[in-house]
Amino acid sequence: MLNSKIGLKLTFWVVLTVLMAIGIFAYFNIQSENKSLLMEVERHASQFSEHLKQDMNYDMMHADRRRIQDGIHRIGSQDSVQSIRVFNKPGEIVYSSTPEEIGNVVDMTADVCERCHVEGLPLKVLEGQDRMRIFQPDDDSPRMLGIINPIYNEETCWTAACHEHPETKPVLGMLDVTLPLTEVDRNIRRSQIAVIVLAISVILILSLIVGFMVRWWIDRPVQELLTAMKHVSGGNLAYRVKVTRDDELGMLARSFNNMTDNLAQVRLQLFQSDKLASLGRLAAGVAHEINNPLTAVLTNSSYLLKRSQGHPETSDDLQVIVSETIRCREIVKSLLDFARQTVPKKREADINKIIGRAAMVIENQLTTRSVELVMELDPEIPNVRVDANQIQQVFINLLVNASDAIGEKSGTIRITSKAISLNPTGVLQIKRALCRKRHDLIDRKVQIDGKPAISMRYRKNKETGLIHLDPMYGSNKHNLGAMPPLDTGVDLQCPDCSASLIVDGELCPKCNSPIFAFEVPMKGLVKGCLREGCNWHRWQQVDSAWDDEYVEVRVIDNGCGIPETQLPKLFEPFATTKGQKGTGLGLAVTWGIVDNHNGMISVESEVGVGTTFIIRFPVGS
């Protein structure tokens, strides 16, 4: 248990440390309290003994033994006094609060006597502490404090009328007072209990607080991460850890989420490439099976064509058979190329001519279906370097799709070509945007033109709110809500961590307003101005590296349209919208071809209105 839970381990060791610290503190506290209490008692005892001696002085002077004994007996029988005894020099008890022991001789070798009476040595004069002794007569009785007080031979003694004591004796006897320590011991015990109770409650409270904090700051987030890991390892890559904090565990959770995001993407790609791999196997199989019949067709027709030179009526037809069979061969090849993801064989070509050829191929199909094909081709478009066969395949695919979308009813397909200049404005979608602390600013719940927007929080004094920026770079269809102009001291912040998004020390080169900036991972900083009507923006890496000239071809039909839910999967292999009719490969192959030409393909569609496929090929790359 202790080994398996980090929170418990941490709590255990913190509490153990606190326990030791408080234990040591309590021990020394009790020791010093004991000492001071005892010192107080000793001082009191020594005073008491001295007073007693002074008190007895008068009766001693008058050698009134009975009065002395009475006094000692009276004082000694008080509760706060255990016993009072007076010894003479040889150790015989002369007076005692317990009269029965008068006349007894004490053992002069006892420890207390030895302090002065060391054999053969002159008598020592005892000071303060040395006159005290603390002892316990037996286990049941309380501790006792004994104090001896020597009665010295003073001038008044040897000159007293009784002539009892000669002048030569330095010490006449000893006053031994014994006081019980019952009260002191009770006080000591009381304070010990108080300290122990205090220590235990401190330890309890501390462990509760530590335990709670550990649970709140470590245990819970770790548990959350563990749960997430279990989910993710179980294959649920959509699981997200709730990120509520900015500390290391918060960062861990955030990077965990990032990791699962990436993992999900990689899995999607893997899935895609898996499909592509099976497409490749399929294509290889198809290629092998189809090659032999194609060989027969191609060899025979080309042989016939060779022999029929001079017979234009047959040679023209044979020419069509030969060239279309060669096209079949190229299709099989390009399918394999696509599966192998190789780069096409590019030559300078006129897109309009390719469109013309593609149109010719499916002309029959269109007329039988009463579909009208309108071509609006700009003769001035520049040549592009493409693999003409592959691109013809692309247009045939799109035209067949358009004709299928129109279906049985009559309709129109428009195919247009033109040269366009594209700059990044309104073309490139910002899909990730990070603040300084690497929080994602993209808010998937708010969309601008159907694309998740970039969200920021503005703050001016107590006035605050969210704004949403257009994710299409340079399109600037921002939703600024009620935000006051930036040059009035408004701060723009990350909605998650409140890190400022305003660039320090840099102003808009067009209008001198403060500008914002955020990071697009791997692609540098995007800066921009939000002042109304200014729309200045800069994205170094994109502004500088951008193909300007494109040939754009649009294939527009007024057919059934594609539901929005199917648009994202449109270019995936085997994602057909035609049910049993399609193979699900057409658009995947199309996408692969266009992508291999560094081109772009996109689709706009509305159910019931029609679909437009837009293909752009870079000029001069």
Residues in contact with another protein by CB under 8 A are 283-284, 287-288, 291-300, 302-303, 305-307, 322, 325-326, 329, 332-333, 336, 342-343, 345-346, 385
Q: Which is nearer to another protein, 90 or 310 (CB)?
A: 310
Residue partners of 598: CB distance under 8 A and separation at least 6: 617, 618, 621
Residue 588 near residue 279, CB atoms below 8 Å: yes
- At closest approach, how far in Å is the CB of 618 from another protein? 13
- At closest approach, how far in Å is the CB of 337 from another protein? 9
What is the rounded distance in angstroms from the CA atom of residue 431 to the CA atom of residue 352?
Answer: 34
Helix axes 6-61, 65-76, angle to 10 degrees: 160
Q: Which is nearer to another protein, 318 or 433 (CB)?
A: 318
Q: Which is nearer to another protein, 284 or 400 (CB)?
A: 284
- At closest approach, how far in Å is the CB of 334 from another protein? 10
- At closest approach, how far in Å is the CB of 339 from another protein? 9
Instruction: Tell me, letter by letter, the H, E, C secondary structure of 341-364.
Output: CCCCCCEEECHHHHHHHHHHHHHH
Q: Which is nearer to another protein, 32 or 295 (CB)?
A: 295
Q: Which is nearer to another protein, 94 or 326 (CB)?
A: 326
Name the burial class of residue 469, with classes exposed (0-12), middle (13-18) and buried (19+) by CB atoms within 10 angstroms of its CB: buried
Query: Within 13 A of 356's CA, how many CA atoms are on the CB side?
Result: 8
- At closest approach, how far in Å is the CB of 279 from another protein? 13
- At closest approach, how far in Å is the CB of 559 from another protein? 35
Q: Which is nearer to another protein, 338 or 458 (CB)?
A: 338
Q: At 423, list the tokens.
A: 């700059």
Name the burial class of residue 233, with classes exposed (0-12), middle (13-18) and buried (19+) by CB atoms within 10 angstroms of its CB: exposed
CB atoms closer than 10 angstroms to residue 189: 11
Q: Which is nearer to another protein, 149 or 596 (CB)?
A: 596
Q: Which is nearer to another protein, 472 or 593 (CB)?
A: 593
- At closest approach, how far in Å is the CB of 560 from another protein? 36
Cα radius of gyration (the chain): 53
- At closest approach, how far in Å is the CB of 371 from another protein? 32
For residue 52, the SS3 value is: helix
Q: Which is nearer to another protein, 47 or 342 (CB)?
A: 342
- At closest approach, how far in Å is the CB of 522 from another protein? 23
Q: Which is nearer to another protein, 298 or 542 (CB)?
A: 298
What is the rounded distance in angstroms from the CA atom of residue 151 to the CA atom of residue 329?
Answer: 136
- At closest approach, how far in Å is the CB of 338 from another protein? 13
Name the burial class of residue 481, with classes exposed (0-12), middle (13-18) and buried (19+) by CB atoms within 10 angstroms of its CB: exposed
Instruction: Tell me, letter by letter, the H, E, C secondary structure of 410-425.
Output: CEEEEEEEEEEECCCC
Q: At 280, list the tokens.
A: 């490749």
- At closest approach, how far in Å is the CB of 390 from another protein? 13
DSSP string, 550-570: EEEEEEEE-SS---GGGGGGT
Q: Which is nearer to another protein, 37 or 328 (CB)?
A: 328
Q: Which is nearer to another protein, 330 or 470 (CB)?
A: 330
Residue partners of 323: CB distance under 8 A and separation at least 6: none
C-alpha 21, offset from chain centre? 33
What is the rounded distance in angstroms from the CA atom of residue 59 to the CA atom of residue 53?
Answer: 10
DSSP string, 169-217: -SEEEEEEEEEE-HHHHHHHHHHHHHHHHHHHHHHHHHHHHHHHHIIII
Hey, what amino acid is at 89?
A: K
